[in-house]
Amino acid sequence: MDIFITLKMAMKSIVSNKLRTLLTMLGIIIGVASVIIMVSIGEGASEDIKSRIEGMGSNLLTISLRSNANRYSLKYEEIKKFDEIEGVSEVAPVISGNITAKFGTESLSVSLNGIDDAYMSVNDYNIEYGRAVVPLDIDNREKVAVLGSYIVEELFGDINPVGEYIKIDGTRFKVVGVLKSKGSSMGASSDEVIFIPISTAERFLKITRIRTIYIQADSPESVTTAQENIEASLLERLDNDDSLYRVFNQTQILETIEEVTKSTSLMLGGIAAISLLVGGIGIMNIMLVSVTERTREIGIRKAIGAKRRDVLTQFLIESSVISGIGGVIGIIISYLSVYVLKRTFGMSAVTPIYIVMAAFSFSLAVGVFFGLYPANKASKLRPVDALRYE
């Protein structure tokens, strides 16, 4: 029998039971849409994090000193000498603490970072208006502050904060600058921070040991050289105990994030794919009902010359068309859902074409697999038994 005739007969059978066909497709539609949406959200989050990290530069190193390194005191002046190491361009140590900032009747609990003049360029911060921390502020231990955009919005509203005074844990600081918004990265906001000179922070926070150091290499190519030389210098200062520090570079962080997000996306896609299997069971169930309902039709067709493969092909085409149309509708719904998530909730979502093709192919495979048993059952019916069926 011609394949086009078989396809026409399959489509006629599907259209004659519109509601039942739609309900059968529902599992496939939900399954395909869920897989694509989940993976899109995972890929979007991964791209967002990667872009933020890459925006800081691929030649950035971060040194984290362990808490049990208290007996080794790395002073600010000693750390700044790291910029003499081969491959190092700039060094930016930072001291952090949590404080309460107040302006007028408004108050806010935020992070306070003590920095030097290199910190902004090393970490890709930009000044919106005003100025950043300068060497003179550090030398004189000035009580000046540079505010993140969120701080300004919450404490000052429409007031220009430059030149105003805020209270940080009861101490007056003059606002000298406001930063451009950077948004959030890995659960931490870059806008909910107040920056003051590192020398002022040492006294204000009563912290003399610096635990975090950002180092910018001369170029992406010199990162490895810079890291090796810095680690050698640290070992010399920390009594050859490499457990007292960790050095991270952007490449390592990006590789780790890619591995984690890939695993997460696969897990989410796998969970969502379960609904595709449920949809396949629905297809098998409906096709078995269809075989039972059309037993006499099958008997007549076989009596007038239809071969087993013709009946098998017809029922396989029916199940494949149901799953295929369900897959297409699922893809359309997933794209609409991703668009709504972006526009309404501002979520980062990226829909890779490979996952769309994989979800659609899987839906077709589910249709063929779960339609095989009913089709095989129909093709094995004997014409005499089928014609006598009531």
Domain finish residue from 187, 206, 237:
237
Q: Is residue 61 part of a domain?
A: no
Q: Two tokens at 325? A: 């149309």
pLDDT grade, residue 285 (50/70/90)? Answer: confident
Percent of the chain with pLDDT over 90: 23
Among the three residues 206, 237, 268, which one is the final residue of a domain in this structure? 237
Q: Is residue 65 part of a domain?
A: no
Does residue 333 register a pLDDT over 80? Answer: yes
Does residue 58 sit within a domain?
no
Q: Is the distance from CB of 169 to CB of 99 less than 8 angstroms? A: yes
Contacts (Cβ under 8 Å, ≥6 apart) of 76 = 93, 116, 198, 199, 202, 210
The residue type found at 99 is I
Query: What is the identity of the amino acid at 78?
Result: E
Predicted pLDDT of residue 116 = 92
Per-residue pLDDT, 178? 94
- Residue 270 confidence (pLDDT) above 60: yes
pLDDT at 377 over 80: no
8 Å CB contact between 145 and 195? yes
Condensed to tens digits (0 to 9), the pLDDT of residues 344-363 reads 887 778 888 888 898 888 88
Give the integer Cα–Cα distance in Å for 345 and 326: 27
| Burial class for 34, CB neighbours closer than 10 Å (0-12, 13-18, 19+) | buried
For the residues 146-152, what does the mean pLDDT come to? 92
Residue scoring higher pLDDT (97 or 21): 97
Could you tell me if 156 and 211 lie in one domain?
Answer: yes
Instruction: State both tokens at 233.
Output: 């210098």
CB atoms within 10 A of CB 270: 11
Asked if 83 and 231 sit in the same domain, the reply is: yes
- Comparing 140 with 54, which gets the higher pLDDT? 140
Per residue, the 3-state secondary structure of the chain, as one string, reads CCHHHHHHHHHHHHHCCHHHHHHHHHHHHHHHHHHHHHHHHHHHHHHHHHHHHHHCCCCEEEEEECHHHCCCCCCHHHHHHHHHCCCEEEEEEEEEEEEEEEECCEEEEEEEEEECCCHHHHCCCCEEEECCCCHHHHHCCCCEEEECHHHHHHHCCCCCCCCCEEEECCEEEEEEEEECCCCEECCEECCCEEEEEHHHHHHHCCCCCCCEEEEEECCHHHHHHHHHHHHHHHHHHCCCCHHHEEEEEHHHHHHHHHHHHHHHHHHHHHHHHHHHHHHHHHHHHHHHHHHHHCHHHHHHHHHCCCCHHHHHHHHHHHHHHHHHHHHHHHHHHHHHHHHHHHHHHCCCCCCCHHHHHHHHHHHHHHHHHHHHHHHHHHHCCCHHHHHCCC
Q: How confident is the model at residue 113 (pLDDT cuts 50, 70, 90)?
A: very high
Contact 97, 209 (CB under 8 A): no
68 in a structural domain:
no
Q: Which domain holds residue 376?
A: 3-52+256-387
**What amino acid is encoded at 326 in this protein?**
G
Report the alpha-carbon distance of residue 275 to residue 35 in Å, rounded.
9
Given 202, 237, 272, which residue is the final one in a domain?
Answer: 237
Q: Do residues 37 and 273 touch, judged by C-beta distance below 8 A? A: no
Q: Which of 50, 61, 2 is nearest to 219 (CA)?
A: 61
Question: pLDDT band for position 70 (50/70/90)?
Answer: low
Sorting pLDDT into bands at 50, 70 and 90, what band is 197?
A: very high
Report yes or no: 382 and 327 within 8 Å, Cβ to Cβ.
no
Residue 2 is predicted with a pLDDT of: 60
Residues 315 and 374 sit within 8 Å (Cβ to Cβ): yes
pLDDT of residue 348: 78
Residue 365 contacts residue 274 (beta carbons within 8 Å): no
Tell me: do 18 and 99 sit in the same domain.
no
User: Is residue 212 one of the residues assigned to a domain?
Assistant: yes
Mean predicted confidence (pLDDT) in 43-65: 74
Q: Within a domain: residue 19?
A: yes
Q: Is residue 247 part of a domain?
A: no
Same domain, 272 and 322: yes
Question: Do residues 223 and 97 both lie within one domain?
Answer: yes
Say if residue 153 is in the same domain as residue 293: no
Question: 175, 103 in Cβ contact below 8 A?
Answer: no
Interior CA angle at 143 toward 141 and 149, to 5°?
125
| Residues recorded for the chain | 390
Pair (105, 170) in one structural domain: yes
Residues 89 and 227 in one domain: yes
Using alpha carbons, select from 319, 337, 330 the residue that is nearest to residue 359: 330
- State how many domains the chain has: 2
Beta bridge partners of 53: none
> Could you tell me if 125 and 266 lie in one domain?
no
Structure tokens at 330: 């699922």
pLDDT value of residue 172: 94
86 shares its domain with 227? yes
127-131, 239-243, 291-295: range with highest mean pLDDT: 127-131
Same domain, 83 and 228: yes
Q: Are residues 232 and 271 in the same domain?
A: no
